[in-house]
Amino acid sequence: MAVASVGFGACATAITGMALGPVSSASAVRPRPRPAAVSRVPVRSPRSATAGVGLRISLKVSPERVARRSAVGFDLRLSAQHAVGALGYRLFFGDGTSRANAIPLYCRADPGVPASADWSFRHRYAKAGTYHVVVTGFVNCTSSHAVAKATVVVS
């Protein structure tokens, strides 16, 4: 099982340096973060980091190497110390497909409360190759977000 590295940036494209492809329609309900307002803080360890609202992200991929059309498991954990809105994600599988959760469009008037969410997915790759998986986690009503990356090799 692999754990992806974590980083921060203005957007997922700037972090990876590659075009990430279309985002599913479920992500259209979330306002886009303003890149200039993104908090940048040092990474505390290779597997976790914290941004403006205390946002932490973890992506586990199992297995990292598979045969074509075999299922790959993705476990995503997102938590925030001061969530003023709903937690959300955009996951790009690296093969032109993606997924995102639908989130309610609400904001809290207070400084926020601790929140966490876990998601598990399965994905099958049709073609052999090396796929760069990128997930962006965010807290609605803020510009804070965190990015985790992983690589899947399909033979």
pLDDT digit of tens for each residue in the chain (155 aa)?
544 434 333 333 233 333 333 344 343 444 444 333 333 333 333 334 444 678 899 999 999 999 999 999 999 999 998 888 889 999 999 999 999 998 887 787 777 788 899 999 999 999 999 999 999 999 888 888 899 999 999 99
CA angle 131, 41, 133 (to 5 degrees): 10
- Helix/strand/coil for 28: helix
CA angle 114, 118, 123 (to 5 degrees): 155
- How far apart are alpha carbons 17 and 58 in whole angstroms? 21
pLDDT value, residue 19: 35
CA angle 139, 1, 131 (to 5 degrees): 70
pLDDT value, residue 141: 85
Q: What is the DSSP letter of 12?
A: H
pLDDT value, residue 112: 76
pLDDT value, residue 105: 78
pTM above 0.85, yes or no: no
Domain ranges for the chain = 2-154
Question: Which homologous superfamily is 2-154 in?
Answer: Immunoglobulins (2.60.40.10)
Q: Do residues 10 and 138 lie in contact, with contact meaning Cβ atoms separated by under 8 Å?
A: no
Candidates 101, 57, 61; CA nearest to 79 is: 57
